Structure 1
C-alpha cells in the first residue's frame, strides 16, 4: 500500500470514551509524531494519511486509553499537560514521574513499529498475501492471525522488541485490506473482524473464474466493480503485476504506474491508496475502516497482554534500566559484595522517584558457564537474586565474560546501560566482533569495572590485559574503569550517575596516543546533574566556564565543582549553579585517555542510518550493519524538546571522529514533527559518532548533544530478511546475500545466536566485486523452546585479510503452532438489579449483582480474568475448574461492567453488561454464549 491514505478527520476516530478536550493534546501529539515518518519509513510520495499516520493514530489512542485506565486503577488522575512525548509519558507514569522524564523510549518504540510497517513494501513487495492483492484473502488473514499469536507469545516472554516488529508488519497487512479490496465499495463501514478472528470464516469470497471489474480506459473510474459482484456482496481485490501484465480474465487490477496488469483489460485499478478527485469518498471510507481495524487489533493484544505489559511493549516506562553482568569466580567475592551494595542503594534511594529503574537485569558468568539472564520489574526479586551470588570456582584461566555480555545486550532494552564486573580477561574473546555488532545495533552503553587481577590469574603477557574491554567500552561510549578491589566502592558512583532518567551525552572524545588538547562544549539551561568523566593515567586538566573561571585537577572542591579520583577515573560533578554557554576543558597526557560530559535533560535525539529502496512504493529502510563506504551516509534523526520538537531549532548535524575530532556536517531536510533527514556526502574515515547543535526556545540557550555508539563504514554488505517465525524442533532456513564493492576473493562467514541453538552455514564465500553471492543459514530451535522466545542472530562477513567486514543483526521469534483460536465463552446466569432505583440520583445505598459462567472454548484453559469497566467487585472460582463461576457486585451508581477472560494461548473474550435504563425496569440479559452476545444490546462481545 503506497501513499495510503491522505485524509483523516478527528471526528472519524471510533470508541472515544472520554472528552474531546482531554484527547485534543493527544491528537496534536500524534500529528507531530506521525508527520515526519510519513516520508521516512513508509512510501515516499506524500499526502496526509499513510500507513504511519493510521498506525500512529491507533497506537496513540490505545496508549492513551491504557494510560488512563492504569492511572485510574492506581487512584490518580491521568492529565497530560501538553502534546509532547515527554508530557504524555509524564502523565502516564503518574505522581512518581517527578523530575526529568524522557520520551525517547516511547518515541523509539513507535519508530520501530512504523519502520517495520513500511518495510513490508520492500521485503514483501511481490507477495500478494502481505498486501491482500490478487484475492489472497485466506493467506493474508493467516499472516495477521499468526502474527497476533507471535506478538502475544513474545509479550508473555517479555520480548518486547520482537513483538513491536511483528506488530508493525501485521498492521500493514491489515490496513492494506481496506485499500486493496472492495470492502468499502460494498458499503461496509465497520472493520471486518473476521480478519483477526481465525475461528470466524471468511465468507462470500470471489472464485478465480468470476469476473469482477469493468474496463476503465482512463484508469481513474470511481468504482469499477461489476454490478453482480456488488449485488451479491462478493469480496475481491486487485491483481498486482510487478514483473508481468497477466491476470485472470475479467479480474480487477491493483492499479497505478507500477502495476503492469493495469493496462490489461479490464484496465484501471481498485486501490484507494491515494485520495484523488474520483475516489474521495471511497478513500476516506478506507481510512476510517483501516483505523478502526487497527484499534480492534491493538485492543485484542492489550487485553491479552494486560495493561502494564502493553505499555512496556510501547516503551512507556521509567527510562532507567539496571543491568549487571558479574564475574562469579573465586577471586570476585569483594566485587560481588560491592555490586550488591550498589543495587541495594539504587533500589532503596530511588524508590518512588522518576529515577526508579523500570527493569532489573542480572547475568552471572564463570568458567565454563554463563547465565542464566534474570529479568524482573520487582526490586525485591532483584535483591534476592543478587544476594544469591557467590564467588566460586574459576581458577587461573580467563572467564566467559563476553558470553554473559552477549546475553545482556540481546535481553536488555535498546539504549540500556550495562555494567560489567570482572578481574580477568575474556576466554571467549572470539565473540568480540559479535559484541561490537550488538553494541552498534542496540546503541547500548557498556561500562567495565576491572579490578586488579591476582598474579595467579594473570596469564596474559600484554602490558594491559584489559585492552579488549577498553575497546568495547570505547565503541559503546561507556567507561573502562580500572581500580583496585579496595577502590571499587568509590568507583561505582558512576553507576548511580548513569542509572537515571533522561540521561544525555554532551560530548565524548578519545585520544590514543594522548596529547595536550582543549575541548569546548556547550551547556544549556535544561541540563541538570552535569558530570565529567576522564579516564587514563598521568593526566592533568583545567576546566574553564564561560565567565573564564577555572579549576584544575588539583582542586578537589573548587568554584566549578567537586573532583573525585579513583584508579584511572576522574569524576567531576559540576555545581548546581553552573553557567550556560561554552565551557572548555584542557587535558594534558601522553597516555591514552577518554573524556565524557553527561547530564540530565529531555532535549535529546534518536537516530538511525538508513538507505533508500525502490519499487512501487519506495521509502527508507534502517541499516542493520555499517553504512557503505564510498557513498553518502544518510541518517533519519528525531529530535525531542522540553515541549516537543517545536520548542527547539536545530542548526547543525554532523559526524565527528572519535580520534582527531573532525566534524563533517550534513545537509538537513526537515521532514516535520521533529524528524530530520540528514545526508553526509563525505563520511569521515575511522570511527565516528553523531553530533547535534541547536537552540532551546524555552530558555533561548544553545544546546549540544552527541551519540555515544561509534560507527564506521564498510565496502561489504549483507542482506537477509526473516519472513516467518520458527517452530520448536524444526529447522529454519534463512537465505542471505553478501556483496562487496572492494576487492573480491574469499570472505570468512561467521554467525552466532544468543540462545546457543545449533546452526549450519558456509564458513566462507567467494565474492566478486559488485555482485551478490547467495547462501543459506539453518538454525534449529530445540523442541523444548518456549513459545515466544526470540533469538538474536548475528551474521558477519570479513575479508581474508581482516581489513574489511560488516554484519547484520536479525531477530527471529520461535512460536509454537496453535490450533486453538476459539475465544473463552461467557454465559450469564443471572442479573439482579431490581433494587436499583429509576432515579439515578438516589442510587447510593443500593446494589446490583451479576453471575456468569466462563468456559474456555477449546480446552487450553483460562489463564486470567480481569475487570475492565466498573467500580464494583469481581470474584471467581478456581481457574482450573472446567466451568468458572464469576460474580460481580456493584453500587447501582456504577451501571456498566465489562470483564475479560484470556486463555493460555492469548484468545480474549469480553463480557459486557449494562443496567442503564430509560424508564421501565433494569435490563435483564439472556443466557447466551459469548459469540452470540454480539446480537444482544445489554450483553455484547465487543470487537
Structure 2
C-alpha cells in the first residue's frame, strides 16, 4: 500500500472494534468502566467514530485553508486529535463533549429500558428508524441555530438505537458487509421485514445458538430482531441474555450479539465493526449538513466563548466604552490563532427589557454589535441583570466564563436560585464588574426617604452578586467608572482556553488563614486574584523565599495591579509547594490560576433505578446525609495519575477525603463517606510521570463552581422533549425528600419567556414525594431549531433546602422534505494539455431541491482546489446555478449540496486524460454526476480499507467508491 493509503486505513480502522456492552450491574467498576478486550462497548464505539470523523473534518479544513495536515499516531485520543486539529488548548472541552455524548448514549438503557423501539427489539424497525431520523432533524435544526448542547444531547440518544440495530437484529447474520444506510433516511425501505405471523427462529441446540435462525429467513434476506420479555409471538426469535425471560420459551435461546458470550456472541466483533461504520456514517451526515467548522464547534473542537452581559441604562456609557476597547484588544490579538474565541455572545439588559441574546462566530459582527450598544434610560435603582445572566448561562457553552457589567442592583432577584442552578449545572464562571458611580447618580434623583431605603439595599445588592460569583468561582470586582478600563484586563487573561484553577477560597467574614497550592511543570503564567478591601498577605515560594503584600521590591511577584477591591498578581513560576498567608478582618476571595493542559472533569453518580442497575450521572445536587460517589476524568495527559480527591468547603476548613480507584482510560471512581453540609468544591491531587522529580511531578487542580448537597430531589418523567410551535407541552415532574415534609415551594422558569403553568407548591410527607406538571407553550412564531431551557426548583418549608432540575427542550417544526438535492450537469469544458498547471477546465451545474423541497441552503466544495461561484437562476429562485473553474492539475471536484432542513447530497465530476499521443490533442472524459450521500462513500471506504489492509492491495490515497 502507498503511505497515504496506510495512513487513511489506520485512521478508518481506529473506529473499528469497540462497542456494545453497556450493562450496569453490581460489579460497578468491572462492568461499567473497565474495558474488556473481548466485549466491546457503546462508549468506545462512539468515541472512535467521533475521533475518526473529527480528523477527517480537520483535514478538510486544513486543505481548504492551504495548510498541511498530519494524522496523529494511533491509538487516537481526545488529546492527540485536538492537537492534530491545532486545538490542543481545547482538549478538555473536546473530551467533555465526548463524555457527554457517551453519557446520553448510556442513559438510553436506563430511561428507555422497556421501550423496544429504542433498541430495535421486537421487530420495531420503523419505530426505531423514526427515533433516529427525528433526532437527526433536531440535530440539524439545532446546529443551524448554534444550539450545540441540544444537538449533542440528541446525538447521544440516537446513536444508541443505531448501534443496537447491528447487535439485536439479524443484519449481520444475513451476510451484509455494509451498514444499513436507510436507518438514517426517512421515506426509504429498511429491508424485507418479517411479517408478524412469520416464524423466524428454532430452539437453540443446548447452549449452541449459532444455527437457530431459520434457513428460509436467511435465504430470502428477511429482517428480524429478537423479542424481549413476555411479548414474544409464536415462532419468533428471542433477544436472549440473563434479563430476557422470553429466552426460556420456545423457540428457546436468543440472537443478541451484545457480548462475546451472548447467544450470537461469535458475531460480536462483526456487529461492533458494523456499528462503528454506521456511527461514522451518521456523523458524516451531520457534518455535511452543518459544514466542517460548525461541526467541529458542535463537537467541542473550539476555543473558549467570549460572553458579555451588559447593562445599557444611561449611566453605563463609560462602561460600554471600556468593553468596546477590551473586545477589540482580545479579537485583534487572537483572531486566526489557536486560542481564538469559538463563539461571541452578547446579552444586553436594562429595565424592563433584557436580550435578545446575540451569538456569532464572526468577530467583526461581534465588534459591530458592541459598537451599536447605546446607553439610555434607567430612572430607578434596579435592572433586569439576572434575566440577562440567565439567558447567557443557557446560551453559552458549558464551562464558559461570563462577564456581567452593571452599576445597579438586580430587580429580578426571584431568579437567584434559578441562576445558581444553571451555574452549578453548566459549571460556568461568572464575574461581575460593578461600577458604583451610576448607582449614586440615580439615587440623587429620588427623595430622601427613598435614598435611605436604597442606601440599605446597596450592600445587599452587592452581596447578591458576590454570592453568585463565589458559587461560580468568579470575581466581584468593585471599581469606579474611571477605574474600569484598568480592571477589564482580567478578561484578556481569562479568555485563554487552557486556564486551570489551582486553588480558590472565600472567607466572609475575613480571618487570618494559611493556604497552600502546588505548581507543577506544566503550569505557565501563574497568577493570583484577590478581591477584598484591606487584605494583607505573605507569599512563600517552594524555595523558601517570601514576599509581603507591602513589599514592592520582592522577587516572587513579577507584576502586580491593584484597582478598586481587586488585586492581580503575576508570580514567578516556580515548581513545588507554595504558601499564601492571608490576613484580613474583611471579606475576601483568593484564586490561583495558571495555563496548563492538565485538568479534570467530574460528575456525581447515584444508584440507577433502571432495569440493569449500576449507577447514573446526576444533573442535580448530590443527596445530603448519604455517601457520595464521583466519576472523575483526567484530561490533557496520558501520564497523569490521581492520588487524592477531596471535597473542600468553599468558605471553611472542613473537607472529606475520597477513596480513589482507577478504572481505566483516565477515569477514576471516587467514593466519599458522606458529603459536606456546606457548599464545597472538588480538589484533585496527583502525579505526572513526566516530572523530573517527585516534587515536580506533583500537581493539583480544583473545580471552579461550588456544589451543595440537598435532601430534596426533582426528577422528570422521560419525554420526547420536542415542542411544536404553538402547542402546549406537558412536562410531568416529581419532588421527593429524604428529610422533613411540609409545603414545598415550586418554581419553574425558562430562558425564552415561553408561557407556562405549574403548581406553586406541593405537599410532601416526611420522606415522601409528590407529583406536578409544567405546561409549556412555544409561540407559533418560534423558529425551528430553537431550544428552551426549563429549570424546575423545589424549596423546602422555610427555604433552608432547595434542589433543581434543568431540562433542555427543542422546538421543531414538522419536517416533510426528506429528499436530497439533485444536480444536473449543464456543461464541462476543458483545454487541458500535458502542461496541466498551465491549463484549466470549467464546469456548470444546475442544482435543485425538487418540486416539494425546502430549497437549497448551501453549496460548498467537498473536494477540489478551484474557484466556485453560485447564483440563482434568472426568474426561478428554486434553481441554483454553480460554476467551477480549476487547473487541470486538480482534475476532480465534489460539490456538497445542503437543503434548508439539512438533507445532504453530493455531486462528483472529473476531467482526466484518456489519450496521451503527441500527435493528438489529449481528450478528457467527464465523469457523470453522482448524487447522494457522501457519508455512504465514507463508510464503504472504511470497510474496503480493512479488506485492502488484509489483502495487501496497493491503491492510491484518493480512493473512493461510486
TM-score, structure 2 normalization? 0.89
User: Does 1:862 find its partner at 2:856?
Assistant: yes
- Cα gap change, 1:402 to 1:231, in 2 (>3 Å): same
C-alpha distance in 2 between matches for 1:27 and 1:510: 50
Check the 8 A contact 1:605/1:638 in 2, yes or no.
yes
**Partner residue of 1:726?**
723
**Residue in structure 1 matched with residue 920 of structure 2 by the alignment:** none
List gaps (5 residues or longer) in structure 2: 444-450, 917-922, 942-958
Aligned ranges 1:264-343 → 2 under 5 Å: 264-276=249-261, 279-318=264-303, 320-343=304-327
Residues 213-292 of structure 1 mapped to structure 2, 5 A cutoff: 213-216=201-204, 218=206, 220-241=208-229, 245-276=230-261, 279-292=264-277
1:549-698 matches, cutoff 5 A: 549-561=545-557, 562-575=559-572, 578-641=573-636, 644-645=637-638, 647-698=639-690
Matches of 2:568 and 2:367 in 1, distance apart? 28
Is the 1:440–1:476 contact (alpha carbons within 8 Å) kept by the matching residues of 2?
yes
2:161 pairs with 1:173: yes
Q: 1:846-903, CA deviations, whole angstroms, 9 ceiling, x for partnerless residues?
A: 4444443321123311111111112333344427633334344434433432111111
Alignment of 1:133-172 (within 5 A): 133-172=121-160
Mean Cα deviation higher: 825-834 or 677-686: 825-834
1:279–1:260 distance in 2 versus 1, CA, 3 Å: closer
For 1:247, what is the secondary structure of its paired residue? coil
Relative to structure 1, the CA distance from residue 23 to residue 386 in structure 2 (aligned partners, 3 Å threshold; closer, same or farther) is farther
| Structure-2 residue corresponding to 1:78 | 69
List per-residue Cα deviations over 1:667-695 (Å, max 9, x = no partner).
Answer: 11212121111111221220100001112
What does 1:900-911 correspond to in 2, within 5 Å?
900-911=896-907
- The answer on whether the counterparts of 1:41 and 1:115 sit within 8 Å (CA) in structure 2 is no
Q: Distance in 1 between matches of 2:169 and 2:401?
A: 47
- For residue 89 of structure 1, the aligned residue among 82, 87, 90 is 82
Q: Which of 539, 549, 552 in structure 2 is aligned with 1:543?
A: 539
CA contact (8 A) 1:44 1:619 kept: no
SS at match of 1:866: strand
Aligned length: 910
2:429 pairs with 1:445: yes
- Structure 2 distance, partners of 1:792, 1:820, is 28
**Distance in structure 2 (CA, Å) of the matches to 1:776 and 1:914:** 59
For residues 408-557 of structure 1, the aligned pairs below 5 Å read 408-452=392-436, 453-454=439-440, 456-457=442-443, 459-462=454-457, 464-465=459-460, 466-557=462-553
Deviates more, 1:302-311 or 1:724-733: 724-733
Superposed, 1:311-390 pairs within 5 Å as 311-318=296-303, 320-390=304-374
Note if contact 1:300-1:908 (Cα within 8 Å) is conserved in structure 2.
yes
Counterpart Cα distance in 2 of 1:916 and 1:270: 49
* CA pair 133-33 structure 1, distance change in 2 beyond 3 A: closer
CA distance in 2 between partners of 1:489 and 1:564 (Å) = 13
Quote the offset at 1:185 in angstroms: 1.0
The DSSP-based 3-state class of the residue aligned with 1:583 is strand
Deviation at 1:617, TM superposition (A): 4.0
C-alpha spacing 1:565/1:455, structure 2 compared with 1 (3 Å): same
Conserved? CA contact 1:748–1:764, under 8 Å:
yes
Specify whether residues 693 and 36 from structure 1 end up closer, same or farther in structure 2 by C-alpha distance, changes over 3 A only: farther
1:709 to 1:34, Cα distance in 2 relative to 1, 3 A: farther
Residues 1:799 and 1:119: Cα distance change in structure 2 (over 3 Å): same
- Structure 1 length-normalised TM: 0.91
Distance (Å, rounded) in 2 between the aligned partners of 1:636 and 1:28:
26
Q: Is the 8 A contact 2:528 2:591 kept in 1?
A: yes
- Give CA-to-partner distance per residue, 1:377-425, whole Å, 9 cap, x none: 2222121111111221111231100000001101111111111111111
1:318-352 deviation digits (Å, cap 9, x = unpaired): 2x321111111122222222222221221223334
2:186 corresponds, among 198, 203, 206, to: 198
- The answer to whether residue 759 in structure 2 is matched with residue 768 in structure 1 is no
Cα distance change of structure 1 residues 731 and 560 upon mapping to structure 2, 3 Å threshold = same
Residue aligned with 1:881, SS: strand
Once the 2 structures are TM-superposed, how far is the Cα of residue 830 of structure 1 from its aligned partner?
5.0
The answer to whether residue 695 in structure 2 is matched with residue 710 in structure 1 is no
Cα distance change, pair 484–29 in 1 and its aligned pair in 2 (3 A): farther
- Mapped contact 1:29–1:84 kept (Cα < 8 A): no
CA distance in 1, matches of 2:935, 2:552: 73
1:278–1:20 distance in 2 versus 1, CA, 3 Å: farther
Distance 2:500 2:18 in 1: 22
Deviation of 1:308 (Å): 0.5
Return closer, same or farther for 1:509/1:28 CA change in 2, 3 Å cut-off.
farther
Contact 1:109–1:315 under 8 Å retained in 2: yes
Deviations 1:592-615 (A, max 9, x none): 211110111111111111223254
**What is residue 775 of structure 2 aligned with on the other side?**
778
Name the stretch that deviates more: 348-357 or 684-693.
348-357
Q: Deviations over 1:716-740 (max 9, x none)?
A: 1111134241111111111211111
Residue 494 to residue 63, structure 1, CA distance change in 2 (3 Å): same
Contact 1:831 1:851 in 2 (8 A): yes
Distance in 1 (alpha carbons) for counterparts of 2:83 and 2:232 = 53
Report if the CA contact (8 A) 2:33-2:663 is conserved. Answer: no
SS of 2:108 mapped into structure 1 = helix
Query: Does the aligned pair in 1 maintain the 2:51–2:77 contact within 8 Å?
Result: no
Match of 2:46? 55
Deviations 1:493-528 (A, max 9, x none): 221221112000000011122111111111112111
Match of 1:5 in 2: none
Contact kept in structure 1, 2:510 and 2:587, CA below 8 Å = yes
Name the structure 2 match of 1:20: 6
1: CA distance, partners of 2:14 / 2:699: 25
For the Cα contact (< 8 Å) 1:42–1:618, is it kept in 2?
no
User: In 2, distance between residues paired with 1:68 and 1:767?
Assistant: 57
Give how far 1:291 is off. 1.2
Partner Cα distance (1:298, 1:311) in 2 = 11
- For 2:722 and 2:380, the matched residues in 1 are separated by 43
Aligned to 2:747: 750
Give the 3 Å change call, closer, same or farther, for CA 262–35 of structure 1 in structure 2.
closer
- SS of equivalent to 1:101: helix
After superposing the two structures, state which structure 1 stretch, 254-263 or 845-854, moved more. Answer: 845-854
Q: CA deviation at 1:771?
A: 4.0
Structure 1 residues 619 and 62, CA, compared in 2 at 3 Å: closer, same or farther?
farther
On the 8 A contact 1:35/1:672 being kept in 2, the answer is no
Which segment drifts farther, 656-665 or 305-314? 656-665
CA distance in 2, matches of 1:616, 1:623: 17
In structure 1, the gaps of 5 or more residues are: 1-10
**Pair 867,75 (structure 1): closer, same or farther in 2 beyond 3 Å:** same
For each residue in 1:88-145, what CA deviation from the matched residue of structure 2 results, as whole angstroms up to 9, or x when unmatched? 323313xxx6xx7241111111111111111110111111111111111111111111
Residues 258, 265 of structure 2: 8 Å contact kept: no
- Paired position in structure 1 for 2:867: 873
* SS of residue in 2 equivalent to 1:777: strand
Comparing 908-917 with 501-510, greater Cα deviation is found at: 908-917
- Specify the SS of the correspondent of 2:194: coil
Instruction: Tell me whether 553-562 or 917-926 shows the greater mean CA deviation.
Output: 917-926
**1:813 lines up with 2:804 in the alignment:** no
